Amino acid sequence: MKKTVSILAMLSTIILGAEVIVKGSDTMLNLTQRLAEAYSNVQPDVTVSISGGGSGVGINAIINREVDIANASRRIKSKEISAARANGVDPTEIVIALDGLSVIVNNKNPIKQLTVQQIGAIYRGEITNWNQVGGPNKKIVLYGRQPNSGTFVFFREEVVKGEYSSAMRQMNGNAQIVEGVKADEGGIGYVGLGYIKNVEGIKPLAVAKKVGENYISPTDEARVRSGDYPLTRPLYQYTNGRPKGIVREFILFELSPAGQKIVEEEGFVPVTQNYIERNNSILQE
């Protein structure tokens, strides 16, 4: 019976062509695009459609059965799980990579490190000049994401711990934040690790949980992987129930050595053993 279903699924893929629709996190957009491109070499009959819009957009799309996979750089909320279940959707979580959310400044800024508390105070608008944290007498210009972004939510919960300053410039995506900070000597921004790789004109700051603790750079992959870097976060994909068919095949590819190599090439960190085990328990047939 199982064999018959698999054969039928294979035949329908060959005859009709098949599509995996992915939507959500802007942080994960370039990464999943690369993964989809690579997957097309393995499974040329499968179309992978990817769009951004933010983690919230992706999660809403999976709740409303509009997509096969929702990309999210934050965890699904209790309210969203409840709405999904009431709609007959079982949001199932896979972690495909780790991110060291990076706080960036302009290359000309002499500041090299900050604590989480200092960054929070900067984004709440309590610290407004770089000389308040040991830098030059220059006004701080805040760059951040828009509210639909999982990164916006993660950064608010883990760092800002309050209200963002009304002076923060809300940018459409990570790339726009990088461009903004690159062009602004007083600028500070936060972006996914994948967006600082090989980019000139900006630099990531080393971050300590609090005064007296070690400052760790997000480029220190081992420390991001171990969770020592204070802004380490998993990057999620959500499906409706355990992934099946071509959706499962695509996710398995993302988690394969070839897929995880792309994760590294894109500047993110491959999943660790604990996530591998959790993913396996979900993906086993």
Residue with tokens 């490190």: 113
Q: ∠ at Cα 103 (132, 189), nearest 5°?
A: 80
**Residue selected from 13, 47, 107, 117 as contacting another protein according to rule CB under 8 A:** 47
Q: Indicate the residue type of 246.
A: I
- Give Cβ neighbours of residue 47 (< 8 Å, ≥ 6 apart): 17, 18, 19, 20
x/- string (CB under 8 A) for another protein, residues 55-94? Answer: -xx--x--xxxx---------xxxxxxx-xxxxxxxx---
Shortest distance, CB of residue 123 to another protein, whole angstroms?
13
| 37 lines the binding site for another protein (CB under 8 A) | yes
Shortest distance, CB of residue 32 to another protein, whole angstroms?
9
Q: ∠ at Cα 70 (88, 21), nearest 5°?
A: 95
Q: Which is nearer to another protein, 77 or 210 (CB)?
A: 77
Shortest distance, CB of residue 47 to another protein, whole angstroms?
5
In 3-state terms, what secondary structure has residue 187? strand
| 53 lines the binding site for another protein (CB under 8 A) | yes
Residue with tokens 């972690």: 95
Shortest distance, CB of residue 115 to another protein, whole angstroms?
23
Q: Computed over its alpha carbons, how large is the radius of gyration of the chain? A: 20
**Residue selected from 108, 214, 241, 264 as contacting another protein according to rule CB under 8 A:** 241
| 122 lines the binding site for another protein (CB under 8 A) | no
**Residue selected from 18, 46, 101, 178 as contacting another protein according to rule CB under 8 A:** 46
Shortest distance, CB of residue 160 to another protein, whole angstroms?
10
Burial annotation 174-196 (CB, 10 A radius, 16+ → b, else e): bebbbbbbbebbbbbbbbbbbbb
**Residue selected from 154, 164, 190, 195 as contacting another protein according to rule CB under 8 A:** 164
**Residue selected from 27, 73, 109, 148 as contacting another protein according to rule CB under 8 A:** 148
Render 132-163 in DSSP notation, one character per residue. Answer: GGTS-S-B-EEEEE-TT-HHHHHHIIIII-SP
- β-pairing, 113-115 vs 206-208, is parallel
Looking at 117-125, 140-148, 190-198, 211-219, which segment touches another protein (CB under 8 A)?
A: 140-148
**Residue selected from 147, 213, 261, 264 as contacting another protein according to rule CB under 8 A:** 147
Residue (of 244, 246, 285) closest to 12 by Cα position: 246
Query: What region does 95 belong to: left with phi over 0, alpha with psi -120 to 50, or beta?
Result: beta
Q: Which residues between 246 and 285 bind another protein (CB under 8 A)?
A: none
**Residue selected from 18, 52, 178, 205 as contacting another protein according to rule CB under 8 A:** 52
Q: Which residues between 192 and 231 bind another protein (CB under 8 A)?
A: none
- Summarize as ranges the residues that interact with another protein (CB under 8 A): 17, 26, 29, 33, 36-37, 40, 44-54, 56-57, 60, 63-66, 76-82, 84-91, 146-149, 162-164, 166-170, 172-173, 240-241
